[in-house]
Structures are given as structure tokens and as C-alpha cells.
Structure 1
Amino acid sequence: MPGERTTLEPQIREMAPLWRTGLDDYVNEISFSPNGDLLAAADASGAISIISLDDGKLRGKWQAHQLGTLKVQWSRSGKYLASGGQDAKLIVYDSKDFSRVAEMSLRRGWIENLLWHRKDDLLLAACGKQVKLYSFDGHLIQDFVEQKSTISDLVWHPQIPDMFATSGYSQATIWHVGQDSPRRTLAWKGSILKIDYSPNGKVLAAGCQDSSAHVWLLPGGSDLRMDGYATKVKELTWDSDSTFLASGGGPQAVIWDFSGKGPAGSKPEMLAGHDGFISVLKFAPSGLLLASGGLDGLIFIRDLSYLKKRKAQPAPWLVHHQEGAEVSCLNWRGALSLAAGYSDGTIAFFQIK
């Protein structure tokens, strides 16, 4: 990437997992229960597994979808668990005994995006070109206008409870619950793969098919384009203070600084370490710990507070190296616990001390 600052790797520290467990297939997503006791995992066989965080033991497992289970998410209250699959079905379970509460079919396509509402037990799901809002017991609350292209991502606005954004070919679209048609369209000439609001709601970032990242500054809508990535950008994550945007699109994590005047005309921080392309990036929910997982099976955790202090980079933790497997998903439980899923079905749990 032209003009970047590449940070040389200091001596790496290693960290062992507290536990590891194995599932039958590729792990598509992992999700923590709100009380932090359980982890739900969706895998490519169509199953959902419930794992105890204390010891990594399997507490329950069932076949949820005829094809792969792509998404699994707990409701904010913790009362319900929802899953979406390649069979275009959206299913809600009671978290007490994981009995089925409701099943909804969204015609054709894969349910790759589902989100619980932050205050109520309402569920937003995207499948193909459709976006629908359901109650926890399966009642259709709202059917939004069908999009012209397949919806690639879905994200709630972090400050406005009923506002959300979708992405697809040539645009990001802003919606509001109660309005069937889009409130606003942010045009872009290529295919958008990933979107993420900054926590303060002032920036909507997009990862693109054409090996670029794109950001819109809100509410005005002026935009910036960041070029030079090695491949398409599918990995984006913000720190909790909306200062740093971390992006993938290659073997190095690319960090953009949005403090002060923002990243326009600036050089990003480039964090090396992975032997292959990065597959997932995730900031901790508070603080500046950034986890990166790669197609090489490596996981690194780095403390990016050195960027604010303008000091030398401290040694990252090499959290784990899973031989012969890709890191498929990461999720934080609080600021100091991290779970990882792998393409070979392994799930590992780490505690930072």
C-alpha cells in the first residue's frame, strides 16, 4: 500500500488456550450468551452446539438446518437464540431448554445476516435481496422493499435504535424501522462486501470487492476511498472510541486513524505477522486490544494503545497456531477473553492475563 508505515515485529509472546474442543465441521460463527456462561457455535454441517465456557464441554447439540448453519445469535435479553442457514430458514429457540419457538422461511437464498434489536426481542434478517423484521415468536413485523442486488451485510446504527444499514452492489442503504423504503442511499460504483458503523455513528465504513475500503462521513455523506489492498476487503472493525478502523484485505492489518482531522492524506499503520491473508479482525468491546486471525491458522492479539501514545509497538501475543486450518471466526467476551473458531471444527478459548 503506497505510503504506509510498516511496523516491524518485536519479539512475539505466546499464549496457550484455556481449552479446546472439536466440532464436526467448519465453524461459521460463535456467539456468547449475555451472561457469559455459554457459547453457541454454528457449523457447516447445519448443527448448533452449546459449549460451557468454564471447561469447554459440550452441553447440547442439534441439527438446526438442512444445509449449513451460517449465523447464530443470542437475543439481548438472553431469553432466545436465533439461527440462520443455507436453507433460507430463520429459527428461534428458547434458551432455557433450546426448544423451538418459531421457524420462518424466507423463500430462496442464504440467511447470512441476522441481528437482534438492542432493546426488544425483535429480529432483523437478510436473505438474498430481502430484509424482514420479525418478533421473537415468528410474527412478521415489517417487510422492507426488496433490493436490486443481494444484500451482503447488515448492521444496526449504534446510536439510533431503529436505524440500520445494508450493503450490496453499487450502494449502502440506510433504513428505519416503520418505513418500508430506504431513508437514504450512499452510492458507490462497485460491490460492497462489508459495512460497519463507528460506535459514535459518525462514520460508515465499507470493505469493497475492488480491493479498496470506503468511508462515508455522516451525516453529511462526504466520502473517502482507501486503495492499495492486496485483495478484496471483507474484514473491518472499529475500536470502542471510534478512533481506529482496522481492515484486512491482505496479510497485514491496516489501521486508519480517525482522530483529529481523520485519515484523509495520512498514512495507515501496517501490522505484519501473518503468513497468509487475514480472514477475521475484531477489536475488544472496550480498550484497544485487536485480535486478528488468518488463513494461516495464526491468531495475534495486539494492544494498539501505543498508537495514541506514539510509542514503539509492544510485542503482540501469538495466541494460537492451528496447523492446517484457517481461522474462520473470532468473538470477544468482555475485554480480556477471546474465542476462536476454525475451518477444521476446532473452537478455542483464551484468557488474557
Structure 2
Amino acid sequence: MATYMESMQKHFQNNNRVRDTQSHSAKVHSVAWSCDGRRLASGSFDKTVCVYTLERDRLSKENTFRGHGDSVDQLCWHPKHPDHLVTASGDKTIRIWDTRCSRSVASVNTKGENINICWSPDGSTIAVGNKEDLVTFIDARTHRSRTDEQFKYEVNEISWNNDGDLFFLTSGQGTINILSYPALKPLHSLTAHPANCICIEFDPVGTYFATGSADALVSLWDLSELVCVRTFSRLDWPVRTLSFSYDGQLLASASEDLVIDIAMVETGEKVTEIPCDTPTFTVAWHPKRHLLAYACDDKHDRDRDSGTVKVFGFPTDP
């Protein structure tokens, strides 16, 4: 009987086509799938948000949202409502969008230039972090700020755990700091990397979380024990972005290396890799299929960013 590893390697031999959608006029910072997997969204340096519909084996652009006055640095979808997404921008606002409308349904002023954003698993709260390491918790219903938390260290990425009772931050000191939620009392500070800890991602199953660091390593942590169970070391540059597949078995990681690494979570072995011409800033697995959305620092010519969104994993042409 073929192992999962072998069956996935075979799957990607037959499904390794990349489809590109040219949608932005500048670098794409963030891509994410809606919770039902029917839509993909991208946020760009060009201040816009694009939404695409996934038909069986192709993406088609559905809408371009305008309204932000600066770069859209990160976006995420509502964990349970497939039409709602939120964007963080350098214009000192976050915006909530409904894909059924052509404009934002809410714009919330914040205290600084926003660089990271996440939605609590129950959908009630949005957390947004800015360049001054201030994290603001916003009521997703009333759009009012509930609380601000100023940190004394560089905060890179923020996330709740899947149960929503812990809040995680990755730091410039290489630590993963864990707070209780909603009390926001510090519980643990895990020394994860000797260098800046950049990104954090939780698997959908609730077993592991992974962090990526400037030391070019990805570390995988057991969530119940808070111990590092393995590291992935195939990349040579700072790991900027991570994503677990819907079944929790595959982990994609990307950096300025000219490949995206796709590994078996349980063994660390390489399943496949996606060649890239330029650094990759964002990756996101589809919530139900083995399709990986990503965006690179592509250039049309030397001066102009191409603003392309790519999806890997479509059937290879016979």
C-alpha cells in the first residue's frame, strides 16, 4: 500500500500546474482563501484588494476593492462567514469588506500603520498590530476598539490558537510569546530561534503550530506540550510565510529562496517544491483541496512589479 507521502508525491506529479492571475499594479503582500474555499483574496502595495472565484480548475477575478489610502499589508477572512474579510493597511485603518458589496462595510481608525491582522476563531474579535508594536483588539460587530496592548518588543505576527483561549505573538528576539485570552496575561515565552521569529501558523487539526525565522528554519511545535518536535531546514533565506494544508499533513514554507518547500509535517521530508523566479511573500493552502495560492516579487521588466497571484496544484495538461 502506498504511503501518504508516496500518494502525495504522485498527486503533485499529476497536479503541478500553476495558474497566474495578473490583477494588481504592484507587489502582492497577502493572499488568503475564504473559509468555504470558493474565493481567494489578495492585498497589494497598490492599495487595492482583489477577490477571485475558484471554478473547478481556474480562478476568475470577481471584484477589485478600493478605499485604502496606503499599501494593503495583510488580510484575512472571517473564520465562519465566507463573504466577509478584513484588511490591514499602512493608512492607519482596517477595513471590513463583504464580497456581495462593492465597497467596504466598515472602516475602523487605528493608532498606527498596520502590518498584521487576524480574526479570532469565533469571529467576534479582530486583532491588528502596527509598526509600533501596539496590538488593538476590535469588536467585529460594533467595529469599536475593545483594548490596546503595547508590547516592549518587536511584534511580527499575531494569532489566536484554534480554541481562541490563547493569543500568540512572534517577536524580534526569536521568542514565541503566549498570552491568555481575553485577559492577555503573559503565560509563556518560548525561545524558538536565535534570530528574529517572523511568522506563525496553526494547523487546522489543533495538534501543531509552526514558526518561521530569519535563521532560515521552520520549527514545528506540539501545541499541548509547547515543545519543538522538529525543524525544517531546506530553505537558505529568512522564512516569511507558512501554511498548513487542510488535513494538517503538509506544510508549505517560503522565503527569498527560488522555491516554495512543501514538506510532510510528521517527518519533515520533502513532498515537492514549487520553483519561483523571485522571492515569495505569502502562501495559503486551500481549505478543502491541495491547491496552494502564493504571490512573488515578480517584475514585468526591471522597474514595474507585475502584481500576479498564482495558484499551484491544478491538473497537469496531458
Q: TM-score range by the shorter chain?
A: 0.7 to 0.9
For structure 1, which segment, 205-214 or 30-39, has the greater mean C-alpha deviation from structure 2 after superposition? 205-214
1:14-62 deviation per Cα after TM superposition (whole angstroms, max 9, x unaligned): 7633411233222121122333222111001101112232323323224
Give 5+ residue unaligned stretches, structure 2.
1-8, 299-306
The aligned residue for residue 138 of structure 2 is 133
SS of the aligned residue for 2:253 comes to strand
Is 1:20 equivalent to 2:14 in the alignment?
Answer: no
Is 1:89 equivalent to 2:93 in the alignment?
Answer: yes
Shift of 1:289: 1.1
1:276 to 219, 233, 237: 237
Q: How high is the sequence identity, in percent, across the aligned residues? A: 16
The aligned residue for residue 53 of structure 1 is 54
The separation in 1 between residues aligned to 2:218 and 2:51, in whole angstroms, is 31
For structure 1, which segment, 72-81 or 294-303, has the greater mean C-alpha deviation from structure 2 after superposition? 72-81
SS of the aligned residue for 2:219 comes to strand
Which TM-score applies when normalising by structure 2? 0.74
The separation in 1 between residues aligned to 2:101 and 2:189, in whole angstroms, is 48
Structure 1 runs (4+) greater than 6 angstroms displaced: 11-15, 216-221
Shift of 1:340: 0.9
2:174 to 211, 215, 218: 211
Give 5+ residue unaligned stretches, structure 1.
1-10, 150-167, 170-189, 307-312
SS of the aligned residue for 1:112 comes to strand
1:234 to 183, 195, 198: 198
Does the C-alpha gap of structure 1 residues 47 and 226 become closer, same or farther in structure 2, counting only changes over 3 Å? Answer: same
SS of the aligned residue for 2:114 comes to coil
The separation in 2 between residues aligned to 1:234 and 1:254, in whole angstroms, is 12
Shift of 1:257: 4.1
SS of the aligned residue for 1:273 comes to coil
The aligned residue for residue 159 of structure 1 is none
Shift of 1:347: 1.6
The separation in 2 between residues aligned to 1:258 and 1:121, in whole angstroms, is 23
The separation in 1 between residues aligned to 2:127 and 2:176, in whole angstroms, is 26
Q: Is the 1:17–1:348 contact (alpha carbons within 8 Å) kept by the matching residues of 2?
A: no
The aligned residue for residue 339 of structure 1 is 293
The aligned residue for residue 37 of structure 1 is 38
Shift of 1:341: 1.8
Does the C-alpha gap of structure 1 residues 16 and 346 become closer, same or farther in structure 2, counting only changes over 3 Å? Answer: farther
Shift of 1:292: 0.5
Shift of 1:301: 1.2
Q: Which has the larger radius of gyration?
A: 1
The aligned residue for residue 282 of structure 2 is 329
Q: How does 1:1-353 map to 2 (within 5 A)?
A: 16-22=16-22, 23-54=24-55, 55-75=58-78, 76-106=80-110, 108-116=111-119, 118-119=121-122, 123=126, 125-126=128-129, 129=134, 131=136, 133-134=138-139, 139-144=142-147, 146-147=148-149, 149=150, 168-169=151-152, 190-199=153-162, 205-214=168-177, 223=188, 225-226=190-191, 228-229=193-194, 231-249=195-213, 250-257=215-222, 263=227, 268-306=229-267, 314-318=269-273, 320-323=274-277, 325-335=278-288, 336-344=290-298, 345-351=307-313
Shift of 1:200: 5.2
Q: Is the 2:34–2:77 contact (alpha carbons within 8 Å) kept by the matching residues of 1?
A: yes
Q: Is the 1:25–1:343 contact (alpha carbons within 8 Å) kept by the matching residues of 2?
A: no
Q: Is the 2:35–2:287 contact (alpha carbons within 8 Å) kept by the matching residues of 1?
A: no
The aligned residue for residue 3 of structure 2 is none
Q: What count of residue pairs does the alignment treat as equivalent?
A: 287
Does the C-alpha gap of structure 1 residues 208 and 17 become closer, same or farther in structure 2, counting only changes over 3 Å? Answer: same
